[in-house]
Structure 1
Amino acid sequence: MAQKQETQIHEIGIPVQSVNWVHLHPGRNRKEAPCIYATMGQQADNLFVLQINPETGFSRQFVSEVPKSNYPTATFMSRTGRLYIGAAYAGHLLCFDPEKDTLEYLGAINPGGATFPCRIDEDSNGQIWIGSYGSADLTNFDPETGQFTRHGRMDDIDMYNYPLVNKDGSIACLIRMTRPHVVVFDPKTGEKRKVGPITTKGEDTIDLRRGIDGWLYIESSLGNFRIEGFEAVSVDTLPEPSHVTTSLPDGTTFVFADAQQLLYRKLETRKPDGETRTFTLNYEASGSDIFYVHAGPDGCIYGSSILPLHLFRYNPQNGELVNLGKCSSATGEAYSMANLDGKIYISSYPGATISEYDPTKTYNFGNQPGDNPRDLGRIDDISYRPRCTLAGPLGRVWTASIPDYGRWGGPLSYYDPTTGKKKAYYRICGDASCYTLAHLKDQNLIAAGTSISGGSGTQPKVKQAMLFLWDYETEEKVWEGTLDRPVSTFNALLTGTDGKLYGTVHGGDAPDELFVFDPESREFTNCIALPSGRPLDLGLQNGPDGKIYGFTNTCIYRLDSTLLTIEEIIRDSFSIAGPIVGQEVYFATGHRLRAVKLF
C-alpha cells in the first residue's frame, strides 16, 4: 500500500449550532424566587442547564463537566426543587441544586449497563428511581446518602426501561422495544414480575401512565389495567392522567415559541391575565454534529445536522455557509439524499420521511403543494433509518433502510415523483436490513447490500450480510450472494466507471476490506485490505481522474481499479464521508464541515 502524501485540509466552518433533548421545568433559584429551568443537549460540548428569570429573560448557563454527558435524555424536577438529569451516553446522573447554585455530578447510574437514561421518578421517601437503555436496568439513588443501589436488569431480552413509582410504593417498569410489556419491582423484597399483556412491536400498542388517583395504569390495544402490587386489574375506563405542574406559582406558563422550527431561542411566557412576553435567550451552543454531506444539483454542498435535523448549504463559489433550517417533519437527522430532475430528495430519521427540495426556489418548508422543501411523509410503515437513497431507476427515488425500533427486516422502497406512488418490498432480505444501493445501468439492476442489524433495541437474527441484485422492471431478486468471510454490513457500494461494482464490508474478526464484483459474471473477483481505521458508511465515490476515492475514520484513500492498489492520501479524523465537487472532496469531522483539495 502506497504511503500518504502531504495534503492540507481546509476548515470551512460549523454549519449548525443548535440544541436537542430540550425540556422546560418550573423551579426556584437560590433566593427562593420562581425561575424556569431548561435542559439542553449538544454534540460539540456537554449538556447544560439554563436558569431563566421569567420577568426579564436573563439566563445563566451551567455546562456539565462530565465527559460524554451530551444529552439530557431523562429529566425530573423533585419535590425538593432539585433538578435531576440522566446524561447519555455517559450513563451518569447529574443534579442542579438551587441551594448550592451548581450543576453537580452524582455518579454513574449503572456502570457497564446504563448508557442512556430513559425515565426518572421519585417515591414518597424522596428516593430517585432511574431506568435506562443498555440493559433495561433499574437503579435508585438516595439523595441523603448519595448512594446508588443497582437492581439490575428488569428484562433479559429487551434493552429499554421506563419506570414509574406506583401508589403502593412498587416500581412499574415499561419495557421496550421488541415485546413491550410491564414489569413490577418490589423495593422491599427485590422481587420482580411481569404483569399485564405482553405485546408485539408493530402489531400492538401499550403505554404506562399515572392516573389522577395516584395508581399506575396500563393502556394497551389488548386491554386497560390498573396495577395493584403484582396484579393487573382490568378496568373499563381509564381515569384522567395525574396533574403535572408545568407553570410557575403565580400561574405563568411558558413554552418555546420556536420549538416547531427546532431553534429553542424564543421563550414565551403567558401570565394568568393573558399578558404574553417573548424573550430571546442568549446562551452559547457549541455546534451540532453533521450526519450527512451531499453534492446538490446546483454545485453546492448540502448536509444535515443531527438532533436536531437542520439542512445546511455551502457554496464553494463564494464561500457562503448557511443554516437553512427545518426540512422535514422528522427531527433526528437526514440519513441520505439523492438528486433527480434538479431536485434533492432528503430521507430522514425517524420514520424514513422523504422531503423534496428544489434549490432554485425560495426556501419555505411545509407539507403542502408549493412548499419547499415539501415533506412527503414516510416512505413506508416499517423503514426508520434510510441509510441510502438512490435516484434514477424508472424515474424513482429508492431507499434502503433499517426498520423501526424493535423490528426486523429493513425494506427496499421507492417513491415515484411523477405519480406520487410509494411502494415497499417488505422482507426482501428476511430479518436483515437493506443498507446500501448502487445502480448497475448496463444490467438494468439495483445492487443492494444488507446489514444483519434490525431496528434499535433488537439483536441480529441473521449471521451474514448479503449482496443481492434487484430487477426493478420485473420486481424480483435475480441473484444473491456474499463473500467467503464474516460480513455484518455491506456499508458502501459504488458502480465504477468500468461498470464493475465496488464496495466495503466489515464484520467478525476479519479485517475490513474493499471488494470488486463483476455484474456480468455475478462473481466477487477481488478483495483488497483497507487502510487503517473503520470504513465509513457510503464512503466510496468516483473521482474525475478515473480513480475511486474512499474514507475510513482515519484516512482518505485512492483506489486504482486497474492495478487494484490502494494509496493512502491523508490521515486525520473523519466522521462523515462527503462528495467530490470540483477539485475538492468534502467531509465532516464531528460538527465541522471540512474539505481537502485533491485535484
Structure 2
Amino acid sequence: METRIGETIYTEAAEPCRNFCILGVTPLLDPKDGREKLVLSNFAAGSVGNLVFVDTESGEGESIPLPGDSGAWALLALGDRLLVGTCPDYGYLHSLDLRTREWAEPLRIDSETYIWNFALGSDGMVYGGTYPGCALLRYDPGKHELTSVGRVSDNAKNLYSRNVYGGVPGRILVDGGFDEPFLRAWNIAAETFEPFGSSGETIRAANESFVCTEADGSLRFYDANTLQPVEGAAADEWELTLEEKETVVRGRLRVRFVRLRDGSRAGVKGQDYFVLRPGADEPVFRPIPVPAPATRIHTVIADGDGVLWGSSGFGQTIFRYDPRDGSSWNSGAVCDAGGEVYGMAFVGGELFMAAYAGGDHIVYRPDEPWDPYGNVNPRTLRSVGPELIRPRAKTVVGPDGGIWTGWAAKYGVYGGGLSRIDPATKEVASWYDPVPGQQLCGLAADGERLYFTTDTGGNGLAARDEPCHFAVWEPSEGRVTYLHRFEPGERPGFALAADSRVWVCVGTDIAAFDPASTAFVGRIGLGERCGCLLAAGSGRIAAFGEKTLYWIDTATMTAEAAGPLPGHVSTAARTPDGTVYFNCYGTKLYRLNAPVPVPGSR
C-alpha cells in the first residue's frame, strides 16, 4: 500500500454504534400540555446529549438536545423549569423553560467538568457537587446565577464532592472522596462547612427528621436538626421510613425507580423504559420512543467472517457491523452494572467481554437469542470487583487458550490485576497487584507468555510521580518472571506481540522487546504519541499516531509515514481479508482505503 503523505488514506465507513445511556430519570407534570412525563437524561458519548420526554400514558416521546456537553447525571424539576447538570467536559448548569422548550444561557464554574446531582436547600437555592474540584455549587433560580461556595474537602487529593443532599433544615449534606471518603455539612446561615459523621460512612437518606448513613453494611441515624447520633426507639422507627429505591423485575433484576403520580414505579433498563402499575405483578417494558443517537466507539474487533463487533463509549452496549452489506445491530445492556465494555475476544464462537465499573466478565453467544433478564445470553460470570473494576488494558487470548484481561483497582486505591476465563468451564481466576500499587494499561500475548505495561494513575486519583513498568507474565506459574522499570517521566501504554517481539508505546517512541533475550533491543521514534498498534502481516505493524499513520517494518525497525489520520486513534481491527477499520474517540468508523496484505502474501 503506497500512499504519499498528504493523501487521503481512509474513508468514513459508518456510524454503527447507536445506544441510549440514561444517567438521570425524573417525573414531572409538563406545563406545556398538562400531562405527566417521565424525563430521561441521555448521555451520548462522543456527541451532544439530549433529554427524552416520555408520556407515561400514551408512550409518545420527545427529544430535546442539550445546549452542550455529552450528558447529565443531575436533573431537578423546579416549577416551570427543569435544571440539568452536565458532564464530562464542561459541567454546565442548563435551565429549560418547560412551557416554551427554550434554554436559558448556560452557566458553569470553569474549574469543574462534572455536576453529579442537585438538591434544593431550605433557603430556596439549588446545590450541586462536582468533579474535579470537589466543590459545592450554589444556584440562585431567581437571578439565574451560579457560584461556588468553596471546596468541600481539606484533602487536596479528594476530587469528588460526589452527592449532595437537601431536605435537612438549614444545611446541605455532602459526601465524597475518593482518596479519603468524607462527610460534610454546609451551614446555610453561617456559610461554613461543619464536620459530620465519621470516615467510611456514606449518606443513604436525608429529610427534615433524620439523616441515615451506611458503613460496612450497617445503618446509622442522626437527628436532622443537631446532626448528633441517635439510637434506640427513634432510630428503629426511622429505619421503617427509609424509602425503597429499587424494584425487582423479571424475577431477578433489581432496577432503580421513581414514583409516578398514581403510585406506579417507573425507570429504565438498558434501551427500554418500564412502568409497573399499582397491583401489577410485572412491569411493562417499552423501547425508548425516540431514535438512539450515534455514540462513541470504545473497542472494535473482527470475527472470523469479517464482521466487526464493538462496544459503546458508555451505556454497556455492544454493536455488530457487517461491511459486506452495511447492516448493523445494537444490543441492550450486557450486564447490570453501569459503564462500558473494554475487553472483547472471540473464542469458539462465543464473545467474551470485560466491563467497567463492576469488574464484570460476560459471555455472549451470537447464534442464540438475546435473553439478558435471566442471565442466559449474555451471561455474567464471576466479577473481580470490587477490588478490580476497570479493564483498562483490555482483553487478549493467551497462549494457554484462556481469555486474559488487565485491570485497574477500585476508586480511591492505586493498583491493578489480571484475570483469566477458562473458555470451556467459564471459571474465572484473578491475580491482584502483580506490580504493587500500579494499574495495567497495556496487555499482549504471544505463543508462550503474556506481557503487560503499568502506570501510576488510579480511578478517582491523580497519577503518582514514580516509575512505570513492563512485565513478562508466565501463565503456567501465575507470576511475573521479568520486570522492567522505565525511566522517570516515561509513561508506557499499548502493547502488541508480533513477529517474535513485543512492541510497546512509550511516550513518542515504540520500544521493541525481545522475549528470547529478555531485553529491550531498540526504539523507533515517531515524534508523536501512539494510541494503538495493529499487526498488519508481512512484517509490518500499523502504528496510529496522534495525527499520522505509520508503517513499521519489524525487520529493519524503521517507520514510514503513510498519511494523515482524522484524529487520535483509540481502537482498530483488521478483518481476515486485510481491511483495517479504526475509530478516533468518536462516533465514526473509518476504513483504510486499501487492504493491508495478509500474512504470507509477499
Q: What displacement does 1:59 show? A: 3.6
List gaps (5 residues or longer) in structure 1: 200-204, 507-511
312, 318, 343: which one pairs with 1:336?
343
544, 547, 555: which one pairs with 2:540?
547
Normalising by structure 1, report the TM-score: 0.86
Q: What displacement does 1:574 show? A: 4.2
1:438 aligns with 2:444: yes
Distance 2:395 2:547 in 1: 25
Distance 2:432 2:347 in 1: 24
1:470 aligns with 2:473: yes
* Aligned equivalent of 1:293: 300
Q: What displacement does 1:389 show? A: 1.2
Alignment of 1:98-497 (within 5 A): 98-108=98-108, 110-112=109-111, 114-155=112-153, 156=155, 157-161=157-161, 162-199=163-200, 206-211=202-207, 213-221=208-216, 224-226=220-222, 228=224, 231-236=227-232, 237=235, 238-239=238-239, 240-241=241-242, 246-249=258-261, 251=262, 253=264, 255=266, 259-260=268-269, 262-264=270-272, 268=275, 270=277, 282-359=289-366, 361-366=367-372, 371-379=376-384, 381-387=386-392, 388-441=394-447, 444-454=448-458, 456-461=459-464, 463-484=466-487, 486-488=489-491, 490-497=492-499
Question: Secondary structure of the equivalent of 2:105?
Answer: strand
Distance 1:169 1:516 in 2: 62
Question: Secondary structure of the equivalent of 2:107?
Answer: strand
Question: Secondary structure of the equivalent of 1:378?
Answer: coil
Question: Secondary structure of the equivalent of 2:72?
Answer: strand
Q: Is the 8 A contact 1:380 1:413 kept in 2?
A: no
Q: What displacement does 1:487 show? A: 2.1
Q: Is the 8 A contact 2:49 2:70 kept in 1?
A: yes
Question: Secondary structure of the equivalent of 2:400?
Answer: helix
Q: Is the 8 A contact 1:411 1:424 kept in 2?
A: yes
* Aligned equivalent of 1:49: 51
Q: Which amino acid aligns with 1:448?
A: F
List gaps (5 residues or longer) in structure 2: 246-256, 597-602
Distance 2:525 2:76 in 1: 50
**Closer, same or farther in 2 for the Cα pair 1:136/1:58, shift >3 Å?**
same
Question: Secondary structure of the equivalent of 1:30?
Answer: coil
Q: What displacement does 1:81 show? A: 4.3
Q: Is the 8 A contact 2:414 2:456 kept in 1?
A: no
What is the CA RMSD across the aligned residues, in angstroms? 2.9
* Aligned equivalent of 2:530: 535
Q: Which amino acid aligns with 1:552?
A: G
Q: What displacement does 1:422 show? A: 2.5
582, 589, 594: which one pairs with 1:587?
582
Q: Which amino acid aligns with 1:116?
A: Y
Q: Which amino acid aligns with 1:413?
A: S
Q: What displacement does 1:141 show? A: 0.8
Q: What displacement does 1:132 show? A: 1.0
Q: What displacement does 1:312 show? A: 1.5
* Aligned equivalent of 1:72: 72
Distance 1:267 1:185 in 2: 37
**Closer, same or farther in 2 for the Cα pair 1:502/1:274, shift >3 Å?**
closer
**Closer, same or farther in 2 for the Cα pair 1:4/1:282, shift >3 Å?**
same
Q: Is the 8 A contact 2:170 2:189 kept in 1?
A: no
Distance 2:306 2:281 in 1: 50
Q: Is the 8 A contact 1:411 1:425 kept in 2?
A: yes
Q: Which amino acid aligns with 2:98?
A: P
Q: What displacement does 1:564 show? A: 2.0
Q: Is the 8 A contact 2:47 2:296 kept in 1?
A: no
* Aligned equivalent of 1:202: none
- More off after superposition, 558-567 vs 332-341: 332-341
* Aligned equivalent of 2:248: none
Q: Which amino acid aligns with 1:569?
A: A
1:525 aligns with 2:521: yes
Distance 1:521 1:276 in 2: 62
540, 549, 553: which one pairs with 1:556?
549
Distance 2:192 2:464 in 1: 31
* Aligned equivalent of 1:509: none
Q: What displacement does 1:367 show? A: 8.1
**Closer, same or farther in 2 for the Cα pair 1:229/1:295, shift >3 Å?**
same
- More off after superposition, 235-244 vs 406-415: 235-244
The aligned length equals 567
* Aligned equivalent of 2:254: none
**Closer, same or farther in 2 for the Cα pair 1:3/1:191, shift >3 Å?**
same
Identity of aligned residues (%): 20
Question: Secondary structure of the equivalent of 2:110?
Answer: coil
Distance 2:280 2:488 in 1: 70
Distance 1:175 1:302 in 2: 37
Question: Secondary structure of the equivalent of 2:190?
Answer: coil
**Closer, same or farther in 2 for the Cα pair 1:356/1:98, shift >3 Å?**
closer
- More off after superposition, 514-523 vs 378-387: 378-387
Normalising by structure 2, report the TM-score: 0.86
**Closer, same or farther in 2 for the Cα pair 1:31/1:322, shift >3 Å?**
closer
Q: What displacement does 1:273 show? A: 10
Distance 2:6 2:282 in 1: 64
Q: Which amino acid aligns with 1:291?
A: H
Q: Is the 8 A contact 2:80 2:99 kept in 1?
A: no
Distance 2:309 2:385 in 1: 25
Q: What displacement does 1:71 show? A: 1.1
- More off after superposition, 27-36 vs 282-291: 27-36
Q: What displacement does 1:242 show? A: 5.6
Distance 1:558 1:503 in 2: 15
**Closer, same or farther in 2 for the Cα pair 1:522/1:206, shift >3 Å?**
same
Q: Is the 8 A contact 2:84 2:94 kept in 1?
A: yes
Q: Is the 8 A contact 2:59 2:289 kept in 1?
A: no
Distance 2:427 2:293 in 1: 41
Q: Which amino acid aligns with 2:487?
A: D
Q: What displacement does 1:295 show? A: 1.8
Q: What displacement does 1:116 show? A: 0.9
Deviations 1:340-360 (A, max 9, x none): 34433111112231122344x
Q: What displacement does 1:150 show? A: 1.2
Distance 1:588 1:40 in 2: 22
